[in-house]
Amino acid sequence: MNVLAPVRRDRVVADLPQCFRKEAALHARPAFHPKVASACQEQRTGTVGFKISKIIVVGDLSVGKTCLINRFCKDTFDKNYKATIGVDFEMERFEVLGVPFSLQLWDTAGQERFKCIASTYYRGAQAIVIVFDVNDVASLDHTRQWLADALKENDPSNVILFLVGSKKDLSTPAQYSLMEKDALKVAQEMQAEYWAVSSLTGENVRDFFFRVAALTFESSVLAELERSGARKIGDTVRISGPESDLYLTAPRKKPKCCQ
């Protein structure tokens, strides 16, 4: 019983979107993992199609987390600051390589007073987007703390990290290039992929979210394939074991008797 609306046409991902900086990228492959591509072609993606991936967006107060999401999901930008209470929630549906795929975007509050409850929202995330303001060095420093908090609730080996500098339109090119150096260093340290965006102009926002969608999709298909692969291996082991031989002979005998 699938009553979800069809995927919007501008949410179709056919090719792997490229990374922003090669220095700090999860991987710089030009296309989807061949296994993933073939699996999608042969429609062996299992349950990924019904799957939802949870993305959490964290970062300091008023760095532009909500604006970033609003720019992408609603294509709007509100200059007035309105603090998020607890969490905002958005659902975006994509079609990656012909497979429907949903992203749950949880936009958390940056305010200190919500920190104690934020952990509730962190659990089960597949990707963590840490946002900082490219005009504010302190917000970049705090990203480490945000990451540490978010990783407490998640398995560090299974999450994809993104480090996003926002409000790019507000900084001059010279300032920006200085900041980028620092940011790249931080990103490499935390093994995150670095992006710089502007929610006001919309620069890189769409590319960024497509990249997020594509990479989370890729990793969940790979995980799915690995899981199903593992299951097969387990099966063969049982069959080739000495006990399973007994089982195999037993049913063979029966038909003989019957005949």
Partner 1 sequence: MVWPRRLRVPPSLLAAAWALPLETAPPPRGSSAEAARAGRHVAAGGGAAAGARRRGGRRGAAAPCRCGSAARAAPSARPRPRGRRRRRRRGRGRSGSRSGACRCYPGTASRPGCTACAWWASTWSWARPWRYARRRRGPPRPRNRALPLAPALRSGGGSAAVRRGNVIVQNHQVRRRRRRGGGGGAGARRGGCHRGAPGLPAPAAAAARRSPPPSPRRLRFPTSSVDCPGIWALTALEGCSHSPNKRSSASFRSVIYPPHSKLTDKEKTNICYLSFPDSNSGCLGDTQFCFRFRRSSGRKVSLCCFLDQLDRDLPVYLKKDPAYYYGYVYFRQVRDKSLKRGYFQKSLVLISKLPYVHLFRTVLKQIAPEFFEKSEAFLEAVCSDVDRWPPPIPGEILHLPIMGIIMKLRIPTYRDKPGTTQIVQNMHQADAQISMALPTVHEVDLFRCFCPVFFHIQMIWELVLLGEPLVVMAPSPSESSETVLALVSCISPLKYCSDFRPYFTIHDSEFKEYTTRTQAPPSVILGVTNPFFAKTLQHWPHIIRIGDIKLPGEVPKQVKVKKLKNLKTLDSKPGVYTSYKTYLNKDEEIIKQLQKGVQQKRPTEAQSVILRRYFLELTESFIIPLERYVASLMPLQKCISPWKSPPQLRQFSQEDFMKSLEKAGPQLTSGLKGDWIGLYRHFLKSPNFDGWFRSRQKEMTQKLEALHLEALCNENLVFWSQKHTEVETVDLVLKLKNKLLQAGREHLPVKTDTLKKLQMHIDDIILALPDDLQDILLKTGTT
Could you say whether residue 80 binds partner 1 (CB under 8 A)?
Answer: yes
Which of 214, 89, 63 has its CA nearest to residue 146?
Answer: 63
The one among 15, 29, 43, 50 contacting partner 1 by CB under 8 A: 50
How far from each other are the two terminal CA atoms of the chain, in whole angstroms?
Answer: 47
Which of 35, 37, 42 has its CA nearest to residue 14?
Answer: 37
Residues 165/167/170/176 CA torsion (nearest 10 deg): 10
Q: Binding segment for partner 1 among 50-58, 127-135, 198-206, 241-249 (CB under 8 A)?
A: 50-58
Which of 19/48 has CB closer to partner 1? 48
Report whether 58 contacts 39 (CB < 8 A): no
Which of 91/230 has CB closer to partner 1? 91
Q: Which residue's structure tokens are 């037993």?
A: 250
Which of 76/259 has CB closer to partner 1? 76
The one among 70, 139, 198, 204 contacting partner 1 by CB under 8 A: 70
Could you say whether residue 231 binds partner 1 (CB under 8 A)?
Answer: no
DSSP states of 59-87 as a string? ESTTSSHHHHHHHHHT-----S--PPPSE
- Closest separation between CB of residue 118 and partner 1, Å? 9
Which of 21/115 has CB closer to partner 1? 115
Which of 20/122 has CB closer to partner 1? 122
Query: Binding marks (x or -) toward partner 1, 110..139, rule CB under 8 A?
Result: -x-xx-xx--xxxxx---------------
Could you say whether residue 90 binds partner 1 (CB under 8 A)?
Answer: yes
Tell me the one-letter amino acid at 38. S
Could you say whether residue 174 binds partner 1 (CB under 8 A)?
Answer: no
What is the rounded distance in angstroms from the CA atom of residue 188 to the CA atom of residue 211? 18
Between helix 205-240 and helix 242-258 the angle, nearest 10°, is: 70
Report whether 100 contacts 93 (CB < 8 A): yes
Q: Binding segment for partner 1 among 12-20, 33-41, 101-109, 189-197 (CB under 8 A)?
A: 101-109
Q: At a CB cut-off of 8 Å and minimum separation 6, what does 163 contact?
A: 24, 130, 132, 143, 183, 186, 187, 190, 192, 193, 194, 195
Which of 13/48 has CB closer to partner 1? 48
* Residue ranges that bind partner 1, judged by CB under 8 A: 1, 3-5, 47, 50-52, 54, 70, 73-74, 78, 80, 82-83, 85-91, 104, 106, 109, 111, 113-114, 116-117, 120-124
